[in-house]
Structure 1
Amino acid sequence: MKNFKLFLGGIAVFAMLFTSCSKEETPVIDNGGEKATLSFGALLNDLVTTSRQQADLGIPVCVDDAPAYVEVILTGDENVGTEEDPLVIDVNPTPIQENGEDVWFTQESGDLELTPGSYTLTYFAVFNAEGDMIWLAPTTDGDLADFVDNPLPLDINLGAGVKKYVDVEVLCFDDRLVNEYGYLFFDIIGKEAIEFCIFGNFCPPSGRHYPAAFSVDVWVWEDGEKGTQLYDDLSNTVELNDDGDWAGTPLCMALPDTSGDDEYYYEITLLSSDAYGDVIEEIIRVGTITDTEVKSFFDGEDSLDYWHFREGCETGDEPPIFQDPREDAKHYKACLYPENGSEVFGFAYFKLEDNMLRATVMATNLEKGQHKTHPQHIHEGDNCDDSGLPIFDLDEQNGEWPRAHSMWGWLNYNRVFTLSDPELAALGQLQDRTINIHGMTVDGEYVPGIPVACGAIDLHEFD
């Protein structure tokens, strides 16, 4: 096996002693002070010369693309990055030569200014400039753990005043090897059914997160009312695992999938649990989900992610498919279909309560790249054949338009707006509006103004 080093240096972790320093100030590093610097080096296991093993394991041929950035997740005294939002660190575009090898360095990241202590590296991935993952550090419970000497997780003791280098072994990978990501896959059950899974967290007033115990009732939704009941009081389990931690199971259901459009009505009830004690056992989420939305949770041909609700937590449901029947808010949804020959597809969800508008847009097959922004607006028209002029911008808080990421051109947009009276008046009834996403390449030139997906916004109300 051919090995060579890729040092990702310059990922600095500092213990912040001088709390009066502003963001514009640069702290002076004193070797005698309580400072700690952590850098990663990556040992690349190049599998190009082991074609027989590649065929057996489904590992693609390693590419020669230069690394553009890395994604990491560290846990410990302070947590850095999450599965949903890992920390992104850019790599300097020009390497230097060391012992005949290219040596790359990451740029400094202020997000890694941490106090010294014990940390664990649980995720490390390297990406090229196009946003494609080119190397991944395997995990102990993954299929490729035996290919490296030290699979993740890696324990790191970060001492004060020490510049510590940690070597991370990474492999060329196949995106279907989900064990390397830590996600759970479920097979589609039969040809006439699709699978939908739910996982939940519950946060009591203390703010601590617990795996939620809950039950689900499901009906076929036909002509605006409940039809045949598919599941009655189906519940998950919350138990202590071998490490003494409370662990909840996702709740998975097979749903009938006909040749036409299918829709299912859900009621989710929060249950008491030994993990967090007794609660008022009441319905906390209601609403419908279409077969198309269910299929959007499939990642590839044989993989499946679950829908995640967070009851009582600061972070909301992801995505906000169902609504809380105890709220007075209005909920809206739009299915986004391709425009102008694109292959973009997605969904938009809106929650309007008084003058607060929460907007969530999820779309795939968009063009990705640093300079390829995707303007998105609510338009005045009520159908995509004549959506009219834009009347409300769905931009980022810094005023920029969102960008797509990953090899699938994935956009995941979330923002809460506080609307002024004129903005509320201009929006009017959202069920009379459409949403458009823009941006595609035409004749070799990227045109950010061309619509690539549109959807009519529908009001969702349930008794």
Structure 2
Amino acid sequence: MKKYTNIYAMVAILMLLFASCSTEKVEGPIDDADSQFTTITFGALLNDLANRSMQKGHFDQVPTCADAEPAVAVIEFSYGGSDYSTTVDIFSDDSGYFTDYSEDLKIPVPSDGSTMVTVTSFMVYDGDTSVASDAFYSAVNGNLIWIAPKGDDAEFDGYVEDALPKMFEVFPGTKPYFDIEVLCFDRRVVNEYGYVFFDIVPKTIYPLCLFVNYCNEDGRHWVADYAIDLYFGLDATGIQIYNHNNPNAMATTGTGDGGYFADPLCLVIPGPPANLGNDAPYLYLVIYPQDWGGTGNYGDIDNTPVPVALSWNMVNELLNDDGTTNEYLHLLVGECENALDGDGTIPGGGNGECDPANPGDDCDNDGFLNGVDNCPSTSNPSQADFDEDGLGDACDTDDDGDGILDADENTGCRLNTDPNCGVDPTDCIPAPGAGCDKLSFTETVSLVGFPVGQDPFYPLMIDGLQVGTINFDLETSNANNITVSIDLFEGLIASDAEVSLPVLGAQKCQTDINANDFSINVVVVSEGGIDYPLEVEVSANICN
């Protein structure tokens, strides 16, 4: 395995700089008459194998993967306050592709300092000007085959470690070599299946569609509900391409006029390593059979995972002559004579009737084996444990460990250890006098749903009529105060007002206000301060 999986090891950005000591970085114009020159070289690395959900539209900016060899690179870069563009030949050796020497890539560097160079664009062409392959064709440079993504597009920077623009620091007396990550895109399969692979060298990817049936010990068959893991390699130590916890690795099931159905699960996969025989396994598939209840369906079953080793011959024989469509790989799991055998040592499915005491099982199928799961019988992928008592919040009856069961906690107090959490503070304002009415307002406030930079505000109502507005100046999370501002309609004033934060046990009363527009600031003396969203209660006597 080691001989060929290394080909697909994750690409690291290499920055090989041999720098002399320097104290000055130059980013502006270079006027030093004693400047030296440093010639820089770039390498092109095609991004490593990855399978990502994506929106097809933005990949229109990426060239189609081709078998053509790279010939030239068109590079845009800047230093010293000026922008430059150059076209250089691409050579290769055992280490990969690299740019030829170019006078344009001689960078002036102060003798006692350094120069910052920023690469803003990097495009690789095949040099074949005889045939225009697509819209990326250049009459001068041929067909665009690789391109470095730009992070400011906010669309491709997730596919590489370092999107452009990329800055390098160069020093006098060095010959620096910088690698640039580039992408190509195989449109053929993605249009049908909605996924994309990037490989370390341009390669073809292929469709693989599964159709799985379940059979009981009597030999009766049903379409199966299932999910899969898929690895590039001989076992689960290989590169994982699909994960059974993700929707793109789960069968789509339902009911219709003909009864229960399951659509074929179509995947996209890489071809085999070049130094591996076509009959040798190179993909490791794990099927996770799922229970499926309902009248006439198979119900609860043995969920033991089923491993399947796939060779290139098995994949290739499913491909049709057009090379872009394929037949289904039919697999049978269950209890009948011809069903594939499950492997109880594989975590994630439970070994038949799952035993929570078995540390090698994952009875709740949340990705954590029973032996390390803080709620082995209750799915909790986050493994949250607020009171750090070793029992996850999903199965702990007292999440905050304050001695009050979650079922008996006041609203909003499940994760608050204050025994007075949620207890209404004593009403601190007098009853409304003549010509006044009592206003009561309760709201859970946060910045969600409001434009950036705008504080939350709400109408104030008495007996169905609006009498003004209330505004909350929310400090940053964990700050220790909140400011409440009230703006009453003309002709109305507030004589007294109270602001309470029941969850935090905080209260602020203000009497003899006698104003139309006023603010109250509530300071919280509590470890951790205020976190939002937060319930706020306001009472006020509103007078004509």
With normalisation by structure 1, the TM-score equals 0.26
Bigger Cα Rg: 2
Task: Identify, as 1 or 2, the structure richer in strand.
Answer: 1
RCO comparison, higher one (Cα < 8 Å, 6+): 1
